[in-house]
Amino acid sequence: MTISAAEASEQVRRKDIRDRWLLSAPALILIAVAGVGPLLIVVLYSFLAPGNYGDVKWQFSTDAWFSVLFTRDIFDDTLSIADAHLSIFWRSIKLAIATTGLCVAFGFPTAYFIATRPSHNRQIWLFLITIPFWTNMLIRAFAIQEVIRNEGIVNTLLMKLGLIAAPIPMMFSDFAILLGMTYVFLPLMVLPLYASIEKLDFRLIEAAYDLYASRWNVLFRVIVPLVKPGLIAGAILVFIPALSSYVIPRVLGGGKNLMIGNLIELQFGQGRNWPLGASLSVTLVIIVLVAMLYYVKNASKSGGAHG
């Protein structure tokens, strides 16, 4: 035996790490090639000029980035703010925030309700929340469409009851998008909130009542601060997919009520402006990353406060 024990154990350690890289290589390569790697090409494309029939011309250009925010007048070459884009960004953000708010309003009581059931029933209630989550989003959007369309059951019912004479138009509006997104993303709010509330120490609530807190005070001064990590997690989980939603506005918003996702798609379809689509995509990713960083910062802060 020529090698020392120390060398041998170092060799074993190195081989172990090499094996671990080999084992994880297929997953990493798959994600790099067919997942997130092509995002780099999107960044590249955002700095090129549009081709005549879609695709790009291989020349450097910052026009796409420019036109995310500004439009150049075709006659006198003056600059003005790109109202069309900004209003779509603004609508997307408003809708995503409203969706998050509605999901908190409905999701918090629901999560609290589940967490306070006897433990053997909790799994069943949780299961009922998870099922819609795992069913096709398109089908769920379609289901909402059936409920609120002019000939849908809500309008039909109201008319049969004689409450309204003509159907209330609800489809193809911001309201329809908001309803659809709340419906689709609600489980994403309930699940992390449930995880937080389930860990809640109810002796703290007893202590609060013991110290003369009202129900209102108990809710907002004890329960909500304690489940804040779950609340933030849920808010991020709802806000991000809501902001980048594509299917819901397409099915429920019709052609006019666009969100960022549809605006991006448009550049690759009728718009034939791939660089603009690429720069809009990068902008969306940046917004999402900022939201994520905010979440991570808050999560580590509240984690630090507890331990």
Query: What is the footprint of other proteins within residues 219-278 (CB under 8 A)?
Result: 219, 223, 240-241, 243-244, 246-247, 250-251, 260-261, 264-265, 268, 274, 277-278
User: What is the footprint of other proteins within residues 8-37 (CB under 8 A)?
Assistant: 8-9, 12, 16-17, 19-24, 26-28, 30-37
Q: How far is the CB of 209 from other proteins (least distance, A)?
A: 6
Phi and psi torsions of 246, nearest 5°: -130, -45
Half-sphere exposure of 119 (CA within 13 A, CB side): 2
26: amino acid identity, one letter:
P
Phi and psi torsions of 259, nearest 5°: -120, 175
Residue of 50, 140, 172, 188 interacting with other proteins (CB under 8 A): 140
Closest to other proteins by CB, 75 or 118: 118
Residue of 62, 87, 130, 217 interacting with other proteins (CB under 8 A): 130
Residue range at the interface with other proteins (CB under 8 A); choices 59-67, 72-80, 88-96, 134-142: 134-142
Q: Is 142 in the site for other proteins (CB under 8 A)?
A: yes
- Can you state the angle between helices 174-198 and 137-148, rounded to 10 degrees? 120
Q: Check: CB of residue 188 under 8 Å from CB of residue 238.
A: yes
| Token pair in block for residue 33 | 């090639």
The SS3 of residue 54 is strand
Q: How far is the CB of 265 from other proteins (least distance, A)?
A: 7
235: amino acid identity, one letter:
A
| Token pair in block for residue 30 | 């798959």
Q: How far is the CB of 215 from other proteins (least distance, A)?
A: 7
Distance CA 59, CA 247 (A): 33
The SS3 of residue 65 is helix
Phi and psi torsions of 162, nearest 5°: 75, 15
Q: How far is the CB of 23 from other proteins (least distance, A)?
A: 4
Residue of 87, 206, 214, 303 interacting with other proteins (CB under 8 A): 206
| Token pair in block for residue 206 | 């007893």
User: What is the footprint of other proteins within residues 59-118 (CB under 8 A)?
Assistant: 105-107, 109-110, 112-114, 116
Residue range at the interface with other proteins (CB under 8 A); choices 5-13, 65-73, 83-91, 297-305: 5-13
Q: Is 5 in the site for other proteins (CB under 8 A)?
A: yes
Q: Check: CB of residue 31 under 8 Å from CB of residue 38.
A: no
Burial of 232 (0-12, 13-18, 19+ CB in 10 A): buried
Phi and psi torsions of 99, nearest 5°: -60, -45
Closest to other proteins by CB, 215 or 306: 215
Q: How far is the CB of 268 from other proteins (least distance, A)?
A: 6
Closest to other proteins by CB, 84 or 139: 139
Q: How far is the CB of 96 from other proteins (least distance, A)?
A: 11
